Structures are given as structure tokens and as C-alpha cells.
Amino acid sequence: QSSAALLKWAQAASRGFAAAAASGPGRKVAVLGAAGGIGQPLSMLMKMNAQVSQLSLYDIAGTPGVAADVSHINTKAQTKGYDKDGLAEALRGCDLVIIPAGVPRKPGMTRDDLFKINAGIVRDLVEAVGKHCPGALLNIISNPVNSTVPIAAEQLKRMGVYDKRKIMGVTTLDVVRAKTFYAEKNGLDVASVDVPVVGGHAGVTILPLFSQATPKVSMPQDVLEALTKRTQDGGTEVVQAKAGKGSATLSMAYAAALFADSCLRGLNGTPAVECTYVESTITDAPYFASKVKLSTEGVDKVFDLGTLSDYEKEGLKAMMPELLASIEKGVQFVKSG
Ligand code: NAI
């Protein structure tokens, strides 16, 4: 459903946008880290979203060029670039803040290896969000998402402005990959495929639920295990192929734009269902990715896991120690800072 919506506005954009009337009020959206590998294509895709009336592009380097470039696209979003001194203005009045700021992985690194650098970046940016647009929805892309979401939550709790409905770790790329790999393997039309992906966003914490995929195809165990592993290692596949030049950026920007579009549609009164990493009580982990309903205040309902196969039950059990440790690491980072 959301792919169809994205395609619709991309097509409308290519026609000069006369046909792309926004549903609901125009929204102010900020991209923090807008000049990066993800930030640039994501900024372009958000400029093409008819629900956006103002677009703030913030980075510590390179934003004037990106903003000038993106601002020439003939869609309605008023686009402005901001550098270090402009963060407050970039954020003021925002409905949605998307954070892809930070360093990406190089071959041989895990997402957790990024913690030292990205934890501080995310904490400081979220502090500014808490100060300048405390009611905004937050889409956190910066890795390790399993820790950066708890970091954001703890920082906002500290400031007395935490609302669990507003903070989401973006795991849409895991869903995008699972759909692509599942459709490819089974000869299905990828546009008709859905695969929920739950857990977290690193290695074994990524758990695609192929038993709940639609259309349903029964796969031999070895094929199922290979597809699960490929989904879990999708990020590493790209890191290795880029051979030192970063991690997924284009597919990530696409996934983030899909997710942001669903968030905006929810705000505008058309609820959407997406998998995302949020504060959760459906398992033993205080943060967990599962299907949620996105509505006018953000996360309206966290859906439970439904029926799992024995293989998925094992996967769920196996991920818990790593997921819990990553969450605790994030919480402690803010508490002890
Ligand atoms: P990149 O290095 O190309 O871009 C990062 C950008 O962040 C740079 O332009 C940099 O100047 C900016 N930046 C650094 N510190 C900043 C600060 N304090 N404030 C504002 N901007 C700041 O990296 P790339 O490839 O865009 O990746 C960004 C992040 O996204 C990484 O942490 C990466 O691991 C993560 N990622 C997450 C995925 C997900 O599925 N959630 C998938 C792929 C990457």
C-alpha cells in the first residue's frame, strides 16, 4: 500500500506536480544529516512528498549546496539549508524530524562499532529536538538503532518531554529487503508481497516472519533459513560491495521516505501500518520492532507478534541477549553522561 502511494507521488512529481494536492495540512519536516549518503537522496524524496510544505535540511557540512540543488525541484515544499548555527531554526515548528546523521559502517565493522561516535551525535540532536520541537515525531536512522532509540528516549525523559508514541527507529529497510528477497526467490510480483520483520535492527535481532508473509508460499527449511540470513545480513552485503565507501544509502533513503510518508499520512488522519522499533511491552525487551499503527499522535497501537513458527520462536529467543544488551548500553550512555 505504501509503495503504491510512493509511486503515485513520484509519478505526480514527474508531471510537474500539478496533480499532487496534499491531503491535510502541509507539514514541516527536518532531515538532520541531510548532506550525507542517505541524507541527500532522502532530502530529494521528501521534497517530492506532497504532504511536506516546509523542508529543513540540516548538516554540519555541505548543506548550502544540497539545499540549493533540492530547492530547484518544482514541488511545493519550501526548502532551506541550515548549518551548525541554524539547528534551532531548522527544527522550530517541525512535525517530523528524520535523523540519518552519523558515521556508516566499513567492512569488518558491526553496527555496534558505530556506537562511540553516533551515540553522542544522536543524543545532542535529540536534545535540540526536545528543546525546539518537543511534540515532533522522530524517525531515527542512525545506527546502532537498537541503542540510538533508547538514547533518544532517555534524553527526552531527562528533559521531561518524552512521549513514547513519537519515537521510532526506522527498520523499514529490513522489510524492503525481506519483500525483495522473498518475491525474487518465489517468483512473485514484489508489489503484491508483504513480509513483517520484527525484533531489532542488527544481525540476529532482525527477524523476518516469513510464516506470516503474503502471498503465502511454503518454503523448504534450507531456503527459509537462507532467506532469513540474507535479510539479517542485507546491510553487510552492501557494506562489502561498497568496499569501504559506506553502507546502504539509496535503498535506505527509499525505505526512510516510505516510512516518513506513512508517518505523515497518520498525522493527517489516514492511519498506516508499518513495522518499526519502538517502546514496547509485547516481549521481554523494552524496545522492539513490530507492526504498529501510525495515527494522528504517532504510534497509536503496537501489534503483538501473532503466531510464530517454531523456527521464528527460536530466532526470537536467540536475539534477546543481544537486543537487551544494546538497549541497556543506550540507556546507560545517557544516564551516566
Ligand atoms: P554519511 O557519512 O554519508 O552521512 C552522514 C552525515 O551526517 C554526513 O553528512 C555528516 O556530515 C552528518 N553529520 C555528522 N555529525 C552530524 C551532526 N552532529 N549533526 C548533523 N549532521 C551530522 O553516512 P550515511 O551512509 O548517510 O549513514 C548515516 C547513518 O545511517 C549511519 O549511522 C548508518 O549506519 C545509518 N544507517 C541506517 C540504516 C537503517 O536501516 N536504519 C541503513 C543504513 C545506514
Q: What is the pLDDT of residue 13?
A: 55
Mutate to test the pocket of ligand 1, among 31, 32, 38, 274 (most ligand atoms within 8 A of CB): 38
CA of 249 to the centre of ligand 1 (A): 9
Q: What is the pLDDT of residue 19?
A: 38
Q: What is the pLDDT of residue 337?
A: 83
Q: Which residue has a Cα nearest atom 14 of ligand 1?
A: 102
Is the per-residue pLDDT at 328 higher than 80? yes
Check if 285 has its Cβ closer than 6 Å to any atom of ligand 1.
no
What does the DSSP 8-state code read for residue 75?
A: S
Query: Tens digits of per-residue pLDDT, 10-22?
Result: 655 554 444 344 4
Catalytic residue among 132, 165, 179, 201: 201
Is the per-residue pLDDT at 202 higher than 90? yes
Contacts with 319 (C-beta within 8 Å, 6 or more apart), sequence order: 199, 200, 204, 205, 207
Measured from the CA of 142, which atom of ligand 1 is nearest?
32
Interface ipTM > 0.90: yes
Query: Tens digits of per-residue pLDDT, 45-84?
Result: 999 999 999 999 999 999 999 999 999 999 999 999 999 9
Task: Give the integer Cα–Cα distance in Å for 330 and 116.
Answer: 11
State the helix-helix crossing angle for 221-232 and 172-186, rounded to 10 degrees.
Answer: 150
111 is known to lie in a ligand binding site: yes
Is the per-residue pLDDT at 303 higher than 50? yes
Q: What is the pLDDT of residue 20?
A: 43
Determine the average pLDDT of the residues in 149-165. Answer: 98
Determine the average pLDDT of the residues in 163-172. Answer: 98
Check if 100 has its Cβ closer than 6 Å to any atom of ligand 1.
yes
Q: What is the pLDDT of residue 7?
A: 64
Q: What is the pLDDT of residue 5?
A: 66
Contacts with 77 (C-beta within 8 Å, 6 or more apart), sequence order: 26, 29, 46, 47, 49, 52, 53, 54, 55
Q: What is the pLDDT of residue 24?
A: 65
CA of 15 to the centre of ligand 1 (A): 31
Task: Give the integer Cα–Cα distance in Å for 115 and 148.
Answer: 8
Q: What is the pLDDT of residue 4?
A: 66
Q: How confident is the model at residue 6 (pLDDT cuts 50, 70, 90)?
A: low
Is this prediction's pTM over 0.90? yes
Q: What is the pLDDT of residue 215?
A: 98
Question: In the chain, what percentage of residues exceed pLDDT 70?
Answer: 93
**Element (H or E) spanning 184, and its range?**
helix 172-186
Q: What is the pLDDT of residue 25?
A: 75
Q: How confident is the model at residue 253 (pLDDT cuts 50, 70, 90)?
A: very high
Q: What is the pLDDT of residue 12?
A: 59
Q: What is the pLDDT of residue 151?
A: 98
Check if 35 has its Cβ closer than 6 Å to any atom of ligand 1.
yes
Check if 246 has its Cβ closer than 6 Å to any atom of ligand 1.
yes
Check if 36 has its Cβ closer than 6 Å to any atom of ligand 1.
yes
Is the per-residue pLDDT at 90 higher than 90? yes
246 is known to lie in a ligand binding site: no
What burial letters (b/e) apply to 66-77, b meaning 16+ CB within 10 Å? bbebbbeeebbb
Q: Which cell numbers in the block locate residue 8?
A: 503515485
Check if 75 has its Cβ closer than 6 Å to any atom of ligand 1.
no
Mutate to test the pocket of ligand 1, among 103, 167, 275 (most ligand atoms within 8 A of CB): 103
Q: Is 201 a catalytic residue?
A: yes
Residue 204 and residue 322 in contact, taking contact as beta carbons nearer than 8 Å: yes
Is the per-residue pLDDT at 171 higher than 70? yes
